[in-house]
A and B are shown apart, each in its own frame.
Chain A
Amino acid sequence: MAKQLIKGNEAVVKGAILAGCRYYFGYPITPASEIAEAAAFYMPRVGGTFLQAESEIASINMVYGAASGGVRAMTASSSPGISLKQEGISYAAGSELPLVIVDISRGGPGLGNIAPEQSDYNQIVKGGGHGNYKLIVLAPNSAQEMCDLTMLAFELADKYRNPVCVLADGFIGQMMEPVEFPKPVTELEDKPWAVHADAEDENKLISSIELEPERLEAHNRKLQQKYAEIQQAEIRSEAYLTDDAEIVLMGYGVVSRILQSAVDQLREEGYRVGLFRPITLWPFPDPQIKRLADRAKKFLVVEMSNGQMVEDVRLVIQGRIPVHFYNRMGGMAPSPEEIREQVIKLFEA
């Protein structure tokens, strides 16, 4: 199929519809509103439902209700809105409901601003809501991946009966790039656990409550087992010119694009530097990072946050090689030139 120049936020909606999603419940917030607007436009055209909810809390619970019925359903928001959704996300994880949340993150804390930041890593990857749960977290870095990873999000959500978050930032959401749309998903697997308003329903229960401690522990063990399987099977990452790299740059989302420009520039100047980019923030690419740390001399993790992912990198590397950190916050993005200077300093150190 030919390419279309399209905003990342709009690519999310087209990807979702191609993945068979026909239910969108959301609340407007910059810089994610184009997702709601595109859903409002396209969902009715394909016989689907778009509903602007009264709040972020209501919208995640509407998705919870729709997902209980076994259909592919989604919502999207930006950082403060995601904070509000966390209760519902925890319930969905506890009830093992497959649903998709898109977070176009912005500057915080509090009202912060509407410029891009990556400070939602902790609230998305580490939970944010209460309880022993994990989200599968996909971090696109292009409009193409906004489509592709949204489609993958629905697939993984169904496969594991788990909420999946597509974690992007304002740049990736607002940016227009050519997107080649995949073929639509036409066959969706049955969900025998879901309520369908039919005779089988008396045996169905969508619930996260388990009063007996023994049984709640067993439920939690089962969830952890599922997470272990996901950790084994679903890691996705990308390495660029890392084979002979002495310094490995690491970042996700838009930062990985900036790092790529820096790597290209530095390579032209003869520096042996490469880029490693997690596509799944959970499951985190531990084995890939370990392997890189066997060869490289230093890591430089770059984030548009106070340093949230870098903690996970340090946990994996465990002090075997230095893990340096460089960041910008508040909606400021590092420039490739800035990164280049940092890297040269590390080479000279």
Chain B
Amino acid sequence: MAEKVLRKAESFYPLYERKGGAAPDVTHYCPGCGHGVLHKLIAEAIDDFGIRERTILISPVGCSVFAYYYFRVGNIQAPHGRAPAVATGIKRVYPESIVISYQGDGDLAAIGGNNILQAANRGEKISVFFVNNAIYGMTGGQMAPTTLIGQKTTTSPLGRRASNEGYPMRMSELIATLEAPIYVERVALTDAKNTTKVRRAVRKALKNQIENKGFSFVEVLSICPSGWKMEPTQAKEWLTQEMMRIFPLGVYKDRSDEIEEAGVQPTVFSAQDLQDSLNLPETDSASAKREPKTGVPEKYRNPRLKIAGFGGQGVLILGVGIAQAGMDDGYHVSWLPSYGPEMRGGTANCSVNLSSRIIGSPLVTQPTVLVAMNLPSLEKFEKDVAPGGLILTDSSLVDRAPSRTDIEHLGVPATKLADELGNTRVANLVMLGAYIAYTGVLDKDVVHSSLPRFIKRKALIDLNKQAIQKGMEFVSHQVKA
């Protein structure tokens, strides 16, 4: 028995070579510090559970920043406070691993406060060991979020004042209020009796993870004789008398027994064909090697379109439709929306380019075609239209013709025609029909075959075809007239 106690855990490196220096067989922790004891309890538990080879320890910033000197496991050192986020990342990659987030009070309760709460709230299947010694030890004894009222530190030289620094943070209590964590306990490294409880809590937190049950959190009150500037015995006395009053020991939450032990499925990536999963186009699409339509009148060729209207008129989808059909017809195309708050009410517009050449600027600053679905759009963009350009207006809503005389204008009562089909919202596709009929840039057949790629609701395809037809018929009547 005595031999077993004295033997160093297998889960510690036999020699602390990463630490190096003159004494690679002892830790860097100060005499009396609780980290060494907690390390030992964790290492022994890892040994006893036989999980050393699949354990990954996240070292934080703080006194335990060098935990990786000692634990003979997979080691990752994390930025200050971020151990729970780093633990989340690696645990999601290796669900069968045992991930330990080992943190101090500054790391966990101050700079990383949100990270621990959110990891707990997600129920990450990790084990968190939180050493609370009410002070920043590594940086030389500054105030921690867990520093007691009246406690003097180098940054609270007169003692912590609630009026200035608030109250000590009770992390176990806080985390226990969350739904997802399955086990939250506060223990203390003081006498043998309490240390036994620490040992038990460490094992429980690891066992919960081995059984794939959920998030476990063990807060360990620990002395810091150097930071507190006390002898170890005096420090233990202070911890018992003062700290435990503010941080009562006990189990704050335990659902470990309610949760079924679950097996872990190592991540297997779907063998499903990526082409299907990613909705990639078929290799032999009919559109693959088309040449753009020929015989388009010179002035309508390679159009640069600005399409504008108010939100809900479907101006963006009209632009996508022209770009999609253009691409399917063998054009180089680009579509660029105005985006952001503009889209949520108010006006929307997009730039569309169709060209037989590679497209330079995707922004249309000097459109050869302006589609103005409402009056503000005409007012805003009329001046930008290239001389000789074409302006299409929804004449049901825009009650005036453009004031420019160096452009061509076609008024299309798109909204009225859409209403005749029983759906105002297809005014955009009426306009599309009018545009292609008037300019000949695209054929109806191409647009029809492109429809399913930009109108996601199959039930609306027929209605949209009728809308295109309406627009085209309007133009042919106009031309005859």
Which residues in A have some Cβ–Cβ distance to B below 8 Å? 1-5, 14, 17-18, 22-23, 25, 30-31, 42, 45-49, 51, 53-55, 57-59, 61-69, 71, 73, 87-88, 91, 95, 113-115, 170-171, 174-178, 181, 184, 195-199, 201-202, 204-209, 254, 257-264, 333, 335-337
Q: Return the contact of B82 from the options A58, A69, A175, A198 (Cβ within 8 A).
A: A58
Report the separation of the CA atoms of residues A30 and B335 in the bound assembly, to the nearest whole angstrom.
Answer: 18
Between A and B, 27 residue pairs with Cβ closer than 8 Å are: A2-B282, A5-B320, A5-B324, A5-B335, A17-B274, A42-B277, A47-B268, A55-B115, A58-B88, A58-B114, A59-B85, A65-B76, A65-B92, A66-B92, A66-B93, A176-B320, A176-B323, A176-B335, A177-B335, A178-B332, A197-B56, A201-B56, A204-B74, A205-B18, A207-B59, A257-B360, A259-B360
Whether B162 is near chain A, meaning CB under 8 Å from some CB there, is no
Judge whether A201 and B340 touch: CB under 8 Å. no
Judge whether B363 and A64 touch: CB under 8 Å. no
Whether B334 is near chain A, meaning CB under 8 Å from some CB there, is yes
Judge whether B335 and A175 touch: CB under 8 Å. yes
Q: Return the contact of B362 from the options A2, A31, A257 (Cβ within 8 A).
A: A257
Q: Return the contact of A1 from the options B13, B85, B283 (Cβ within 8 A).
A: B283
Q: Return the contact of A88 from the options B54, B82, B359 (Cβ within 8 A).
A: B82
Judge whether B280 and A181 touch: CB under 8 Å. yes
State how many angstroms separate the Cβ of B17 from the closest Cβ of chain A: 11
B332 contact set on A, CB distance < 8 A: 178
B interface size (C-beta, 8 A): 73
B281 contact set on A, CB distance < 8 A: 1-4
Whether B53 is near chain A, meaning CB under 8 Å from some CB there, is yes
Judge whether A58 and B75 touch: CB under 8 Å. no
A4 contact set on B, CB distance < 8 A: 280-281
Report the separation of the CA atoms of residues A66 and B277 in the bound assembly, to the nearest whole angstrom.
Answer: 23
Judge whether B53 and A46 touch: CB under 8 Å. no
Report the separation of the CA atoms of residues A53 and B96 in the bound assembly, to the nearest whole angstrom.
Answer: 22
B337 contact set on A, CB distance < 8 A: 174
Chain A residue at smallest Cβ distance from B92? A49
By CB atoms of chain B within 10 A, which of A175, A176, A257 has the most? Answer: A176
> How many A-B pairs fall under 8 Å by CB?
243
State how many angstroms separate the Cβ of A118 from the closest Cβ of chain B: 14
A184 contact set on B, CB distance < 8 A: 274
Judge whether A23 and B93 touch: CB under 8 Å. yes
Whether B16 is near chain A, meaning CB under 8 Å from some CB there, is no
State how many angstroms separate the Cβ of B116 from the closest Cβ of chain A: 10
Q: Return the contact of B68 from the options A1, A5, A73, A205 (Cβ within 8 A).
A: A205
Chain B residue at smallest Cβ distance from A67? B89
Judge whether A177 and B333 touch: CB under 8 Å. yes
Report the separation of the CA atoms of residues A335 and B59 in the bound assembly, to the nearest whole angstrom.
Answer: 52
Judge whether B282 and A65 touch: CB under 8 Å. no
The SS class assigned to the A binding surface is mixed
Whether B387 is near chain A, meaning CB under 8 Å from some CB there, is no
Judge whether A64 and B94 touch: CB under 8 Å. no
Do A2 and B284 form a contact, CB below 8 Å, given A68-B86, A209-B65? yes
CB interface residues, B 23-58, toward A, < 8 Å: 52-56, 58
Judge whether B82 and A57 touch: CB under 8 Å. yes
Judge whether A178 and B333 touch: CB under 8 Å. yes
Whether B270 is near chain A, meaning CB under 8 Å from some CB there, is yes
A195 contact set on B, CB distance < 8 A: 56, 74-76, 90
Chain B residue at smallest Cβ distance from A30? B340
Judge whether A65 and B88 touch: CB under 8 Å. yes
Judge whether B361 and A336 touch: CB under 8 Å. yes
Judge whether A53 and B85 touch: CB under 8 Å. yes
Do A61 and B86 form a contact, CB below 8 Å, given A197-B54, A260-B361? yes
Report the separation of the CA atoms of residues A66 and B68 in the bound assembly, to the nearest whole angstrom.
Answer: 18
State how many angstroms separate the Cβ of A272 from the closest Cβ of chain B: 18
Judge whether B74 and A57 touch: CB under 8 Å. no
Whether B87 is near chain A, meaning CB under 8 Å from some CB there, is yes
Whether B194 is near chain A, meaning CB under 8 Å from some CB there, is no
Judge whether B74 and A46 touch: CB under 8 Å. no
Given contacts A51-B88, A64-B82, A261-B360, 7 further A-B contacts (CB under 8 A): A1-B281, A2-B287, A22-B269, A46-B274, A68-B86, A254-B363, A336-B360
Whether B110 is near chain A, meaning CB under 8 Å from some CB there, is no
Q: Return the contact of A54 from the options B59, B114, B288 (Cβ within 8 A).
A: B114
Chain B residue at smallest Cβ distance from A2? B285
Judge whether B339 and A31 touch: CB under 8 Å. yes
B55 contact set on A, CB distance < 8 A: 197, 201
B336 contact set on A, CB distance < 8 A: 171, 174-176
Report the separation of the CA atoms of residues A95 and B272 in the bound assembly, to the nearest whole angstrom.
Answer: 34
Report the separation of the CA atoms of residues A320 and B334 in the bound assembly, to the nearest whole angstrom.
Answer: 38
Whether B22 is near chain A, meaning CB under 8 Å from some CB there, is no
Do A5 and B82 form a contact, CB below 8 Å, given A202-B74, A258-B361, A336-B360? no
Report the separation of the CA atoms of residues A4 and B272 in the bound assembly, to the nearest whole angstrom.
Answer: 20
Chain A residue at smallest Cβ distance from B97? A197
B453 contact set on A, CB distance < 8 A: 5
Judge whether B360 and A264 touch: CB under 8 Å. yes
Judge whether A202 and B79 touch: CB under 8 Å. no
Judge whether A177 and B334 touch: CB under 8 Å. yes
State how many angstroms separate the Cβ of A150 from the closest Cβ of chain B: 13
Report the separation of the CA atoms of residues A204 and B360 in the bound assembly, to the nearest whole angstrom.
Answer: 49
Whether B278 is near chain A, meaning CB under 8 Å from some CB there, is yes
Judge whether A61 and B93 touch: CB under 8 Å. no
Do A65 and B361 form a contact, CB below 8 Å, given A2-B288, A42-B278? no
B92 contact set on A, CB distance < 8 A: 23, 49, 51, 62, 65-66
Judge whether A45 and B277 touch: CB under 8 Å. yes
Judge whether B115 and A65 touch: CB under 8 Å. no
The 10 tightest CB contacts between A and B, nearest first, are A65-B89, A261-B360, A201-B74, A197-B97, A195-B74, A2-B285, A47-B270, A61-B85, A335-B365, A207-B77
Whether B446 is near chain A, meaning CB under 8 Å from some CB there, is no
Report the separation of the CA atoms of residues A170 and B18 in the bound assembly, to the nearest whole angstrom.
Answer: 46
